[in-house]
Structures are given as C-alpha cells and as structure tokens.
C-alpha cells in the first residue's frame, strides 16, 4: 500500500515542484516589474476568484465529489460512471456560470467591500474592478479543471492534474513581457493571462478524460440523486470554507488599511510558505484521499489508519525542516528571490516579517492537509467544518484585536499580526482534527513514533545550527549582488539539507522505514 502511495506522491510532488518553481519565477517577475504597491490591485483581483476556487473546487466540491464517485466507480458499471461525470460537469458548470456573471457585474462592489483601503484612491479602486472582471471567469474554468482532475486521480492518473498549474504560471510569465512595465496597460495583461489560463487548463485535461471513455456532453442534472447527494455533502463544507474565505478576505481588507504594499507583502510571504506546502503537503492530501475513500468503501479500518499514519510521517519528514528553514532563512530567501527591479529594501523587510509569521504556522497548515482527508473519505463533513469554524473565529478575533492594538501603538509592521493570526488558526484546526481522529479510534498511531520523533528533532537541531552559523544577518545579503546572493543561498540550503539527512542517517532512519511507515 505505502509503496504505491510513495510512488504516486513522488510523481505529484515532482510535477508540483516544477509548477512551484515556475510560480516562483512568476512572482520574481512580478516583483521586479511592479514591486509591492503597484501590484496591490492585481493581487486583490486575483484573490477574490482564487478564494472562490478554494471554496468550490479545492474545498467543498472535491471533498464531496470523490467519495460519491468512488462508490459509483466501485459498485456500478462504467456507463454509470460516465453519466455521473457528465451530469456533475454540467450542473457545476451551470451554477458557476451564473456566479461568474454576477461576479463580473458586481466587481466594483466587491472591491469596495474587500479592499476598503482603496477608497482613498479612486483610480486604484477602478483598476481593481476592471481587473476583477477579467480574473473572475477563472473561477468557473479552474473549478471544472479541478473536477476533471479529481476523476483522473481516481483512476491513478496523478501526473496530468499535477502538471496543469504550470499553464497558469507560463501564461502570467509570458504576459509580463508583452507590454513594457512603464505602460499603464501592463497590469491588465496579467488579468488577461489569468482568464486565458483557466480556459487552457480545462481544455488540457479533456483528452485524458476522453481516453478513459468518460468525456460525454455535459448536461444539467440537478434531479439526479447522486448530484443531490454531492450537494448535501458540500453544504457543511461550504459553510466552513466560507468562514475560511471570510477570514482571508478580512485579513486582506485590513491589510489595505495599512497602506501601499501591505497586500503584496502578505501575498509574497504566503507564496514562499505555500512553496513547500504545495510540493509535499497538498500532494500527500491529493494522493491519500482516493486511497482512504477506497479503504472506507472496502471496510478496511486498519489500512485506513495505516495510510493516515504514513501520510503524517511523510509530511513531518519534510515539513519540520521546511518550517525551520522558513523561520531562520526568511530574510535571505526574500532578498535573493524578490529584491530586484521595483522591489525595494522596505519591501524585503516587510515581506520577511510575514515569512517568519507564516513559518510558525507551517506545520499546522500541513497537518490539516493530511488530516482532513481522514474525515471526508468517510463522508464525514460536519466535524471538520465545526473545527475549522472554531479555529477561524478565534483567528478572526485575534486578527481584529491584534491589528487594532498594532495600529493604536503605531506599529510599523501591522500586517504581520494578520499572518500570525492565520498561523494560529491553522494550529487550532489541526489539533482539533487530530484529537478527534484519535478519540474515535479512526487513527491509531503505529509503533515507532517515539524513535521517529527523536530522530527528526535531532536532525532539525543540526540543521538549525548550520543555518544560524552560515546565514548571518539580513544586511549582509542586501549588500551583495543578486548572483552572490543566489550562490550563497544555494550553499546554505545544501549544507543545511546535508546536515539534516546526515543526522537522520546516523540515527538509523532509512528509506525503507519511510516507505513502510515503520521507524
């Protein structure tokens, strides 16, 4: 079981790494061309449909669709599976078409609601609304792309969905060079690229769906009992996802009140945090959900628990050093990657503070990605939503109170408390999920966790020592040129990684232990 999951996770991680590298190239390009303040309007215009994507595609829909699809695939003939794909695609597309039209028409209102700091600059508010009209259709196409990707994953074809995000990055990178950044229309090209990328991503996956003989004419199917069941399962998740999106929107709304650049500082900081999260945490969650769904249908509780155990160990093996790296190497990372062109020294310092704050919550974010499939695979949607709402309400209260205090004290980096509150939310959610899985006996930790934890702790301590010795202060990085920074960063990262894995090897951890989930 774990060997197959290890192989699938490796494929998804490798292709996700390619996408993340291109995403980093994309962000470097945007930082150099537009800097912090100039990009705020585009970040807001991209944020709103992305939040909808997480709510419809990567959130409620995928978690409700996969268990129902698994049952149909396991117990029904292929023609029924094909029909289910057609009615779900048609119904989802129809609903999202209406939402897209409403979003485009109400673009000025959404900018007014979600970016109150833009009110003082009418030109910025108009720009945000114009860009949103082009980025909002991305929600519909990327949601359909996610639906097709879920079907492909259920048939063990993880490579194509994992590669698909590369298209978005290529489109945005290419668009940044079409019009000179001095042209006021340059930022519009980014919005056009997002819209085009959504269409291309959807079309890219259709040939593989056709090869599975599942590509049929989409049709409206609200009366289909399976569609209604998916909708019923989506309900609780949608509530939790809505709270999550409201929390993110609240933080970005508050960031617009800090002043020019704050929205972009949060964006760049979150992108650095999401780089390792996407490579293995999201990849693990993507891979284990179909396996957990199948094991639940087959009534295999021991295998179900073993899959969760394997996922947690695999996540911690790479998640702990990633968290240490984000906290201790945040400044050098920001300076090396983003400090070019219009990206100023102030942008470097402000973004570094955000990276530190997100680094504190990195393991919480990663744990949620692995633990939530343990609920949704069993079609249990209410408990994760309840825990998400508890964490999110605490986080939102922390955001409002800490932000208000920071503004009252005239703290120059008030946006950092917003990232800290997000990290707090992730930890609360993760601990509640883990506690419930343990309490209900769904997850029983396998033998060897004590030795495994000690090995990871010693390896992370060695890695932290290397980073502390070699990284130095941020000012020395800012004083160097970009090539010297890149070379130095490479040396530091390689040395830290070598120390981490060398200590793991000296402590007796071998690849066979990882593949078999026994340490």
Per-residue b or e along 178-210, where b marks 16 or more CB atoms closer than 10 Å to that residue's CB: eeebeeeebbbbbbbbbbbbbbbbbebbeebbe
Closest CA to 419 of 251, 242, 250, 268: 251
| pLDDT at res. 57 | 58
pLDDT mean over 484-508: 92
Please calculate the CA angle 382-294-381 and round it to the nearest 5 degrees.
Answer: 5
Give me the pLDDT at residue 11, please.
Answer: 62
In angstroms, how far is the first alpha carbon of the chain from the final one? 16
More confident residue, 282 or 21: 21
- Token digits of residue 32: 């150099």
Query: Higher confidence at residue 427 or residue 22?
Result: 427
Distance in angstroms (rounded) separating the CA atoms of residues 275 and 165: 13
Give per-residue pLDDT as tens, 360-377.
988 998 898 889 888 878
Res 454: pLDDT: 93
DSSP class of residue 480 equals S
Q: Quickly state the pLDDT bin for 515 (edges 50, 70, 90).
A: low
List the one residue out of 330, 332, 325, 353 whose CA is nearest residue 484.
332
As a whole number, mean pLDDT of residues 392-412 equals 78
Q: What is the pLDDT of residue 173?
A: 84
pLDDT at 80: 84
Position 516 scores a pLDDT of 46
Closest CA to 456 of 323, 329, 360, 361: 323
The pLDDT confidence band at residue 199, using thresholds 50, 70 and 90, is: very high
Place of tokens 């959404």: 110
Backbone angles phi and psi of 283, in degrees to 5:
-60, -45
Residue found under tokens 């010693």: 458
- Contact residues for 333 (Cβ-Cβ < 8 A; gap 6+): 272, 326, 355, 489
Q: What is the pLDDT of residue 9?
A: 60
Averaged over 256-284, what is the pLDDT?
Answer: 75
Whether the CB-CB separation of 377 and 442 falls below 8 Å is answered with no
Q: Quote the mean pLDDT of the chain.
A: 81
| pLDDT (mean) for 279-295 | 74
At residue 190 the predicted structure's pLDDT band, cuts being 50, 70 and 90, is: confident
> Which of 237-246, 385-394, 403-412, 418-427 has the weakest average pLDDT?
237-246
pLDDT average, residue stretch 322-335: 91
Q: What is the pLDDT of residue 1?
A: 45
pLDDT at 264 over 60: yes
Model confidence at 519, pLDDT cuts 50, 70, 90, reads very low
Q: What is the pLDDT of residues 4-37, one digit of tens each?
A: 555 656 666 666 667 777 777 777 777 766 655 5
pLDDT of residue 456: 93
Name the percent of the chain lying above pLDDT 90. 17
Q: Are 265 and 36 in contact (CB under 8 A)?
A: yes
Q: Look at residue 58 in the predicted model and tell me its pLDDT.
A: 59
pLDDT score at 156: 76
Q: What percent of the chain has pLDDT over 70?
A: 84
Average pLDDT (51-64) is 66
Which two structure tokens, joined as six digits, stand for 239? 């509530």
Q: Contact 165/225 with Cβ under 8 angstroms?
A: no
- In this predicted structure, what is the pLDDT of residue 247? 62
Q: What is the mean pLDDT of residues 229-251?
A: 66
Q: Does residue 119 register a pLDDT over 90?
A: no
Q: Is 96 helix (H, G, I), strand (E, B) or coil?
A: helix
Reply yes or no on whether the pLDDT at 113 is more than 80. no
Residue 285 has pLDDT above 80, yes or no: no
Q: Is 277 in contact with 430 (CB distance < 8 Å)?
A: no
Confidence check: pLDDT of 517 > 60: no
- State residue 436's pLDDT score: 94
In this predicted model, which residue has the larger pLDDT, 498 or 45? 498
Among 327, 288, 285, which Cα is nearest to 59's? 285
Least confident of 113-117, 131-135, 393-397, 482-486: 113-117
Among the listed ranges 95-109, 121-135, 142-156, 401-415, which one has the minimum average pLDDT value?
Answer: 401-415
Higher pLDDT: 252 or 458? It is 458
């Amino acid at each position: 079981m774990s060997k197959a999951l290890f192989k699938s996770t490796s494929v998804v991680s490798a292709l996700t790494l390619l996408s993340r590298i291109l995403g980093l190239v994309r962000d470097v390009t945007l930082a150099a061309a537009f800097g912090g303040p100039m990009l705020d309007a585009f970040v807001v215009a991209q944020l709103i449909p992305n939040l909808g994507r997480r709510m419809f595609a990567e959130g409620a829909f995928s978690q409700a669709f996969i268990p129902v699809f698994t049952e149909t695939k396991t117990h029904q003939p292929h023609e029924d599976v094909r029909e289910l794909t057609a009615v779900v695609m048609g119904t989802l597309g129809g609903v999202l078409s209406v939402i897209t039209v409403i979003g485009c028409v109400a673009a000025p209102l959404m900018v007014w609601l979600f970016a109150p700091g833009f009110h003082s600059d009418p030109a910025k508010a108009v720009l945000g609304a114009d860009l949103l009209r082009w980025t909002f259709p991305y929600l519909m196409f990327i949601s359909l792309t996610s639906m097709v990707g879920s079907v492909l994953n259920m048939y063990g074809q993880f490579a194509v969905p994992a590669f698909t995000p590369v298209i978005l990055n290529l489109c945005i990178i290419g668009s940044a060079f079409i019009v000179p950044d001095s042209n006021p229309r340059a930022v519009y090209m980014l919005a056009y690229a997002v819209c085009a990328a959504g269409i291309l991503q959807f079309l890219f996956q259709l040939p593989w769906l056709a090869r599975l003989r599942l590509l049929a004419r989409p049709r409206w199917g609200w009366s289909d009992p399976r569609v209604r069941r998916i909708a019923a399962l989506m309900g609780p998740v949608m509530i939790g996802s809505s709270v999550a999106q409201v929390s993110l929107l609240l933080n970005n709304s508050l960031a617009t009140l800090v002043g020019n650049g704050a929205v972009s500082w949060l964006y760049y900081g979150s992108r650095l945090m999401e780089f390792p999260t996407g490579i293995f945490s999201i990849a693990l969650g993507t891979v284990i959900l179909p396996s957990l769904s199948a094991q639940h249908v087959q009534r295999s509780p021991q295998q179900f628990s073993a899959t969760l155990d394997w996922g947690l160990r695999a996540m911690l093996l790479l998640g702990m050093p990633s968290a240490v790296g984000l906290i201790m190497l945040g400044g050098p990372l920001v300076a090396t990657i983003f400090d070019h062109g219009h990206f100023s020294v102030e942008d470097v310092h402000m973004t570094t503070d955000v990276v530190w704050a997100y680094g504190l919550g990195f393991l919480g974010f990663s744990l949620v990605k692995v633990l939530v499939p343990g609920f949704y695979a069993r079609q249990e949607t209410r408990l994760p939503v309840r825990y998400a709402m508890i964490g999110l309400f605490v986080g939102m209260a922390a955001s409002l109170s800490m932000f208000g205090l920071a503004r009252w004290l005239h703290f120059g980096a008030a946006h950092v408390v917003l990232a800290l509150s997000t990290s707090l939310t992730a930890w609360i959610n993760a601990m509640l999920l883990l506690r419930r899985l343990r309490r209900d006996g769904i997850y029983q930790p396998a033998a060897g966790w004590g030795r495994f934890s000690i090995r990871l702790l010693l390896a992370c301590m060695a890695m932290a020592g290397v980073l502390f010795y070699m990284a130095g202060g941020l000012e020395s990085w800012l004083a160097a040129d970009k090539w010297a920074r890149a070379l130095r960063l490479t040396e530091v990262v390689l040395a830290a990684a070598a120390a981490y894995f060398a200590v793991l090897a000296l402590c007796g951890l071998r690849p066979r232990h990882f593949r078999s989930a026994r340490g």
